Structure formats: C-alpha cells, structure tokens
C-alpha cells in the first residue's frame, strides 16, 4: 500500500513539472550510448520556436543538467546536452536568443575549464558553430575575455601525448578564429583589436606557425587546401592569421602588428630572418594594399628602437623591410617618403660609426658589446639594397626628390673638416652606393628636371676626389641617369668595333630639353671626363666607365655641336697622354690613348662621314702594326705589355686635329670650333674637392674676402676698355694664370706654415678694419632725431646735438596715429 502511494505521489508531481523541463528530460535516453532521442528533440525544438520566451529557461535547465553531469563524470550525457544546445541554437533566431546564448556560453565555459581534453575540444567545437551564426539583435553586455584567454592557453598546450596535444592546439586556433569572426564586425561587442586581446591572440598564432617553420607559405593568398592539410596546425594557423589581418581596418593595423614585433624580439627570431620574413610576407599579402605603408612605418620605428642592438638583429629587420617593400604596391611607402629614407640613411650612418668606434655607446664603459665588423658590413649592404627596393616603388618625380635628399646627406670634401677622414670616406661611399641603387633603372624624358644643378654639381664634385672608389661610384650613377635606352651593357668593355651595327644600338633624335641640358651642363661633363682621365689612381674600371659615359653622351644627348665638342675632347685626351708635364704613369698614358682611339672609332661611325671614318681607321691600322699598346685590346687586359716610354708616339699613330677638321668641315660641321683645341677650365670646385686641411679652407675664405673687400675696390682705378686692351688680355692670359696660381700658392703656404700668432694678428687687424668701416656707415646712415630745443654748446665751444628720448618728443598731429 505504501509503495503504491509513493508512486502515485511521484507521478502526480512529475505531471506538475513545467513542460519545457519534461521536454528537455525526454531527449536524454536511459543509456547515453544510444545518443540523442531525435523524436523528442524535434518536439523540444518545435516548442522553443512556438514559445521563444521559454528559450532562456530551456537554456538554464540544460546548463544545470550539464553542470551536474560534468561533476558526476557522466560524459555521455554531457555530449547529448551540447548536441541539443547546438541544434536549438541553429534553429532559433529571435529576439530572445540573447538570454539563451548566455546559458550556452556558460556551458561552453564549463567545458573549457575542464581538464579533460575531449571536453575542451567539445566545448570549442560548439563555440565555433555559435560563432558562425549571424545574430539578428546585438548584445550589449556579452564578454569574450575568458574565451580569448582560454583559447590562447590551449594554443600553447604541452600535453604529453603528441596527438592529443595537436588536437588541443588546433581547437585553440579554431576557437580564436571563432572569437574574431564573432566580434570583429560588431561595434557593440568588446573591441577584439584592443592590445589586451591582441597580445594574447597574435603570439598564440605565431607560436603554432613557428612550430612548422620549415613549411613555406606557398601563395600570397589562402587557397583551398586538401583534407590532409586542413589537419595541420600550421596551415590552420596561417589561414586564421590571414583572416585576422584581412579584417583589420586602418586604425587597427598597429595593434595587430605590434605583438608580432614583440614576439620576434622576445624569442630572438630576427637573427634567423627566415621566420620573420615569412611572418611579414603573410602580413603584407593579407592586409588591404592601401594600408601597406603603415606596416612599413612600424618596421622603421622598430628599427630605430633597436638602433643599439646587435648588427644581426638590425640586419634581420632591414631584410624584412626589403621583402615588405618588394611586396607592397607602387606608392605604398606612404605620405612620408623622405622620412623612410631618412631612417634608413640614419641607420647606415650609425652602422659606420659603430664600426669605426667599436662600441654602441662610446660614452659608457659598462656593458659594451663587441662590434663585429663583418656583421656591420652585412647590415650596411642590406640597408643599401633596401633603399633601392623602396626607390623602385616610387614614381619618377619622387625618386628625383630622394636623389636630392641623399645627395644632401653626403659630406662634401673640405666642408666638414671636423669629421674623421676615414669615417667621412666610409659615409661617402655608403651614401653613393645608396644613390647607385636609387638611380638603377631610372627613366626620364626630361634631363633638366631629372638632373638639376643642385644634384649634378655636388655629384660631379665627387668625381674630382682622390679616392678611386668614390670616383667610380659617381661615374656609375651618371651612367644610370643618362642611359635611357639600355645601351649601357653594350659598352661594358672597350674595344675597336669595325662595324657598330652589330651592337644594335637604340638612338633617338635629341629633344629640345636634351639640347638645353647639354648647353647648360655639357662643359661640366667634358671637364670632369678630362680630369678623370688625368687622375693617376684611375684603373681599368675607371677608363671603361669613362668610355661608356662618352658613348652614352653621343647617343642620348648629342646634337651637331655636342658631337664637335666630344671629338675635341677625345683629341685633348690624346694630347694629355702625350704631355710630359702631367707625370702620368705609362699604363695611364696608354689607357688614355686607347680610350681616345676606341671613342673616335665609335663617333666616326655614328657621324657616317666617310673621310672621317677613313682617317680614324688608317690610324688604327698603323697602331695595330707599330704600336698595339695604344689600342684597347692590348691595354685593358690582365697583364698588358707596355713599353718603357712613349717617346715614339708620333706621326701616323696619332689622330690629327687638322685632318679631322678638314674632313668634317666638308660635311657642314663648325670648322672654327673643331680647329680650337679643347682646354678644360679650372674652377674653385677643383681645389675644394682636393683640399685636405682646415688651414687650406681658411686660406680660401680669406682669399675670397680679400678679393671682394671694399678697400681694394676703392683703390682700383677705372680702366678704359679698348681693342688693344682686349688683345693684350688674350695674349697675356697664360701669364696671368701663372701669376694667379702663384699668388694662391703663397696664400695657402702662408696659412699652412705661418705661426698661429701671426695668423691671429692678421685676422684681428682685418676684423678691426671691418668694425671701423661699419662704424663709419652707421654714423652716416643713423643720426639722432632732431631736438625740439635745438643744439647745446659743448665745453669746447662746439655745438653738440642734444638727444631727446622718443617719449619726450613733440610730434605734429599728422604724424600721430
């Protein structure tokens, strides 16, 4: 009787339970291995759709049962509960789903907090399904902080079993991907781009990406992978990382890239370069192209922050910059173009300083790191390549600005006397190598705008230095700028070519802008070519480069007048090689002879004047028989056979100016100009480029000042200009040059050898004279204002103006405003 009563009471109480609880209970079978009762699940789903206000209670009850089953280790029922939750979540999209989601996330959190890998993976899979659902209504109070932290922790799992460890890490990666998808496009959610979240997400992805460092990224965009590849944590990580970066807006790039930089720093991954380059390849290919310059700016800032770090670290950052610049689209350097190059040039200069001083901080003796010269050299080469890579992404007008900017950074000989000569030379070489990279492949239609005086004049001044490497770099830069039709490789070596048609040269008619350029700068170029051949330290490479420069000028910028001047220059080079006053070594003389012969052979075929070609070929034939050491084939070789002297170089082995003038005059060329020997004009630039001491610098300044002093101008009488005066000036010009050169030598010698007291007294006297002249000028131009009370008498009976303060003076009404 008692048992019957209890059963009836329980049955009665069961009938009184809420319907949603009964429907939830009915989906659980007696044996969990049987799985979810599908028929009852359909009833529960229909009920939830019919009465959406009950969704939160259904979720709360399911959550209660799941917590109880987890505590009792009834994992079969846990799986059934999660499957039911997933189905309800997929089926119900209404305004009440937010409350249900809270219960769902509570259950997922319970599973993730478990120490059982299967439960963690189960919770992650449910969260990923939830993340793919687009909700109709936003949530204002939902937080994903726990999920970011937990999924990041799973990404770093160190579980003993490698298979289970891999599954846990993949679950963590999928979970992070789900968090990003759920929050990145919802402005009402917690901002996933905040540093507190990015500092967990990005390092977790990089950790898993690093585990498969040997696997290279095969394509710039994620492609459909096979099933086997989908199971790889590395491939999954890369897809997740790409998706994260692809969703980054303009203001979020910095927060996404900063953790990457910190991770590479903390794990010393810059030195290996491979992984760092791979990471930034993924970044550059994944972000929107218009945001590329933001990544580059962050890398430049990070390079500055590591300016006192080891050379290998800085070289790694520079290599990454090089790859980033190559990937970025044209113009991606951004609005601060010059700042990019300024940073790279600053790093180049710092590296040179470190190499010379041997320390990153010469003012401190504590914790000094050992500087390895070869590492600094590798860094310098990497910076130079990176400068060239950035320049290649720029349009022509911006590249011209960069060329001017770099030129302004190069220390000019004699202008920076305080600098150590070795350091100055190294900086000059490095910056000129940077210019070589920037000008490589440079194409322009207007030479006047591409090579303004502010760039060309300082560049040419370096071609007069005594350093052969610097001169060779300057010539290389000029070749890159002048060669607009890719003719340069055809003149890489000097030789006598009987028929230049085999070279297939590209020659266009000289434009008006080219004519203006040569009219303005032609004489400068000729003079520097002449002086370059005159340098005793010039070698085979220098002469080959000078020959290429002459050839390119003939094809790119030559009109009839320029052709005449170039022929005169070639004949002047022949005279230079014959002169005994220049003390040139035998090799240099033979090389200049060979250079002039090769160029005249080229220019005569370009002018297509038969008589001119005949004369040149006759001389070359004579040289081949009698003096082969005057031709390039016997000079520009590894072991040239040279004579002891060149006294026999006369007669038929020389090109005759009179003969060339005669044959070209018959073809309409300017015979008067052809008959005039070319003589280079020496300017102050020649001296400035060669001066070595501060004494010479001061002497030149004094010389210029003494020339322009007003005292000297007053003493100089006016001279009547007549025909005889002009005639005498022309005749005596040579003697005047000698006198001027001697006077300059005496001034320089005085400042080099005279005692310091004598120089100081001389400068002091000049300063006193200048002050007295200024006082005279001030007395004349600045007078005291007229006094209303007139004048007063001095003690000596002389009238003296009494100065009245301005505030006491009485001004007329018309003068007061």
Q: How far apart are CA 5 and CA 101, in angstroms?
A: 42
What pLDDT is stored for residue 602 in this prediction?
A: 94
Beta bridge partners of 793: 799
Burial environment of residue 698 by CB neighbours within 10 A (0 to 12, 13 to 18, 19 or more): middle
How many Cα atoms are found within 13 Å in the side-chain-facing hemisphere of 427?
23
Task: Check pLDDT > 80 for residue 727.
Answer: no
pLDDT at 262: 95
Neighbours of 11 (CB within 10 A): 10
pLDDT number for residue 545 = 94
| Alpha helices (H) along 306-442 | 311-327, 337-357, 373-392, 396-409, 421-439
Helix axes 610-626, 657-665, angle to 10 degrees: 160
329 Rama sector, left if φ>0, alpha if ψ -120 to 50, beta otherwise: beta
Binned at pLDDT 50, 70 and 90, residue 185 comes out as low
Q: What is the pLDDT of residues 758-801, one digit of tens each?
A: 777 777 777 777 778 878 787 776 555 554 444 444 444 444 44
Q: Is the pLDDT of residue 8 over 50?
A: no
Q: Which of 100-109, 195-204, 406-415, 725-734 has the highest mean pLDDT?
A: 195-204
Residue 168 confidence class, pLDDT cut points 50, 70, 90: very high
HEC per residue, 765-808: HHHHHHHHHHHHHHHHHCCCCCCCCCEEECCCCCEEECCCCHHH
pLDDT of residue 367: 46
Q: In terms of C-beta density within 10 A (0-12 exposed, 13-18 middle, 19 or more buried), how is residue 332 classed? A: buried
Residue 540, pLDDT score: 92
203-207, 352-356, 494-498, 678-682 — most confident range? 203-207
The set of residues, in sequence order, having a beta carbon less than 8 Å from that of 397 and lying 6+ positions away, is none
Q: What is the pLDDT of residue 141?
A: 65
pLDDT of residue 244: 92
Mean pLDDT score, 459-471: 89
More confident residue, 63 or 376: 376
CA distance 217 to 568: 60
What confidence score (pLDDT) does residue 267 get?
A: 92
pLDDT digits (tens, 9 = 90+) for 386-426: 998 888 888 888 888 899 999 988 887 554 444 446 778 88
- Nearest partner of 308 among 353, 339, 273, judged by Cα: 353
Tell whether the model's pLDDT for residue 312 goes beyond 50. Answer: yes
Mean pLDDT of 313-339: 79
What pLDDT sits at residue 66?
82
pLDDT at 363: 56
pLDDT at 357: 83
Return mean pLDDT, the chain: 79
Instruction: Write phi, then psi, for 801 (nearest 5 degrees).
Output: -70, 130
**Per-residue pLDDT band at 636 (split at 50, 70, 90):** very high
pLDDT tens string 193-237: 889 999 999 999 999 998 865 444 444 444 444 444 455 888 999
pLDDT band at 37 (very low <50, low <70, confident <90, very high): confident
- Rounded Cα gap, residues 812 and 495, in angstroms: 88
For residues 299-328, average pLDDT: 90
Percent of the chain with pLDDT over 70: 78
pLDDT score for 89: 77
User: How would residue 722 be classed by pLDDT, with cut points 50, 70 and 90?
Assistant: low
Euclidean distance between CA atoms 505 and 501, whole angstroms? 7
For 707-717, the pLDDT digits (tens) are 444 444 444 44
The lowest-confidence range among 254-258, 430-434, 445-449, 566-570 is 445-449
> 406 exposed, middle or buried (CB, 10 Å; 0-12, 13-18, 19+)?
buried
Neighbours of 683 (CB within 10 A): 10
The average pLDDT across 13-39 equals: 76
Q: For residues 657 and 629, what is the distance between their CA atoms, to the nearest angstrom?
A: 21
**pLDDT above 80 for 96:** no
Q: What is the pTM of this model?
A: 0.71
Give the pLDDT score at 327. Answer: 83
pLDDT band at 734 (very low <50, low <70, confident <90, very high): low
Lowest mean pLDDT among 172-186, 254-268, 305-319, 471-485: 172-186
Q: How confident is the model at residue 680 (pLDDT cuts 50, 70, 90)?
A: confident
> Which one, of 598, 589, 584, lies nearest residue 549 by Cα?
598
Distance CA 332, CA 296 (A): 9
Q: Confidence band (pLDDT; 50, 70, 90) for 83?
A: confident
Q: Which residues contact 471 (CB under 8 A, 6 or more apart)?
A: 462, 463, 464, 465, 532, 535, 538, 542
What per-residue confidence (pLDDT) applies to 652? 84
Closest to 384 (Cα-Cα) out of 354, 419, 421, 429: 429
């Amino acid at each position: 009787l008692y048992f019957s009563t209890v059963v009836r009471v329980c049955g009665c109480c069961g009938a009184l339970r809420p319907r949603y609880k009964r429907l939830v209970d009915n989906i659980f079978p007696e044996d969990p291995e049987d799985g979810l009762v599908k028929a009852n699940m359909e009833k529960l789903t229909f009920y939830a759709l019919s009465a959406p206000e009950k969704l939160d209670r259904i979720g709360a009850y399911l959550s209660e049962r799941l917590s109880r089953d987890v505590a009792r280790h009834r994992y079969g029922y846990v799986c059934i509960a999660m499957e039911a939750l997933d189905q309800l979540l997929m089926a119900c999209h209404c305004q009440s789903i937010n409350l249900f989601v809270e219960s769902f996330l509570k259950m997922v959190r319970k599973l993730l907090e478990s120490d059982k890998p299967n439960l963690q993976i189960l919770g992650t899979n449910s969260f990923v399904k939830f993340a793919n659902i687009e909700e109709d209504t936003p949530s204002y109070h939902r937080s994903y902080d726990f999920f970011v932290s937990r999924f990041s922790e799973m990404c770093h799992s160190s579980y003993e079993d490698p298979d289970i460890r891999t599954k846990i890490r993949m679950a963590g990666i999928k979970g992070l991907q789900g968090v990003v998808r759920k929050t990145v496009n919802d402005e009402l959610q917690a901002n996933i781009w905040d540093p507190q979240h990015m500092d967990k997400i990005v390092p977790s992805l990089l950790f898993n990406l690093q585990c498969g460092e040997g696997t290279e990224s095969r394509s710039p965009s994620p492609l459909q992978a096979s099933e086997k590849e989908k199971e790889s944590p590395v491939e999954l990580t890369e897809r997740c990382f790409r998706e994260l970066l692809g969703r980054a807006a303009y203001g979020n790039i910095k927060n996404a890239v900063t953790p990457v930089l910190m991770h590479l720093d903390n794990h010393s991954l810059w030195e290996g370069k491979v992984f760092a380059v791979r990471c930034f390849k993924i970044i550059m290919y994944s972000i929107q192209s218009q945001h590329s310059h933001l990544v580059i700016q962050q890398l430049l800032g990070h390079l500055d922050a590591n300016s006192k770090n080891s050379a290998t670290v800085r070289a790694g950052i520079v290599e990454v910059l090089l790859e980033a610049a190559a990937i970025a689209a044209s113009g991606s350097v951004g609005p601060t173009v010059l700042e990019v190059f300024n940073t790279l040039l600053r790093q180049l200069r710092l590296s040179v300083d470190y190499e010379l001083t041997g320390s990153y901080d010469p003012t401190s003796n504590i914790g000094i790191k050992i500087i390895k010269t070869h590492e600094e050299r590798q860094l310098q080469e990497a910076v130079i390549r990176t400068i060239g890579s950035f320049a290649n992404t720029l349009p022509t007008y911006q590249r011209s600005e960069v060329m001017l900017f770099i030129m302004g950074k190069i220390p000019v000989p004699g202008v920076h006397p305080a600098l150590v000569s070795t350091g100055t030379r190294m900086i000059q070489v490095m910056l000129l190598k940077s210019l070589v990279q920037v000008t490589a492949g440079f194409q322009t239609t207007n030479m006047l705008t591409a090579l303004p005086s502010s760039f060309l004049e300082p560049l040419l001044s370096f071609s007069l230095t005594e350093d052969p490497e610097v001169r060779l770099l300057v010539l290389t830069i000029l070749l890159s700028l002048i060669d607009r039709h890719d003719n340069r490789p055809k003149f890489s070596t000097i030789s006598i070519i009987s028929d230049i048609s085999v070279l297939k040269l590209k020659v266009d008619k000289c434009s008006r802008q080219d004519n203006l350029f040569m009219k303005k700068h032609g004489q400068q170029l000729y003079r520097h070519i002449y002086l370059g051949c005159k340098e005793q330290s010039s070698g085979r490479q220098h002469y080959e480069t000078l020959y290429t420069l002459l050839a390119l000028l003939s094809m790119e910028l030559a009109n009839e007048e320029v052709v005449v001047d170039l022929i005169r220059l070639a004949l002047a080079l022949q005279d230079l090689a014959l002169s005994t006053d220049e003390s040139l070594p035998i090799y240099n003389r033979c090389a200049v002879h060979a250079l002039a012969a090769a160029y005249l052979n080229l220019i005569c075929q370009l002018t297509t004047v038969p008589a001119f070609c005949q004369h040149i070929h006759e001389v070359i034939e004579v040289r081949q028989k009698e003096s082969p050491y005057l031709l390039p084939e016997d000079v520009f070789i590894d072991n040239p056979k040279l004579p002891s002297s060149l006294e026999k170089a006369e007669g038929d082995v020389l090109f005759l100016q009179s003969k060339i003038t005669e044959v070209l005059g018959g073809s309409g060329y300017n015979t008067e100009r052809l008959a005039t020997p070319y003589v280079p004009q020496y300017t102050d630039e020649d001296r400035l480029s060669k001066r070595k001491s501060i004494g010479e610098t001061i002497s030149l300044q004094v010389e210029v000042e003494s020339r322009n002093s007003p005292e000297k101008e007053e003493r100089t009488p006016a001279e009547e200009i007549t025909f005889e005066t002009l005639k005498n000036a022309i005749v005596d010009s040579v003697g005047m040059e000698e006198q001027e050169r001697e006077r300059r030598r005496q001034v320089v010698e005085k400042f080099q050898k005279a005692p310091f007291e004598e120089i100081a007294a001389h400068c002091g006297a000049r300063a006193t004279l200048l002050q007295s002249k200024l006082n005279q000028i001030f007395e004349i131009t600045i007078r005291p204002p007229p006094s209303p009370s007139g004048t007063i008498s001095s003690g000596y009976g002389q009238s003296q103006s009494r100065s009245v303060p301005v505030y006491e003076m009485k001004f007329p009404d018309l003068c007061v405003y």
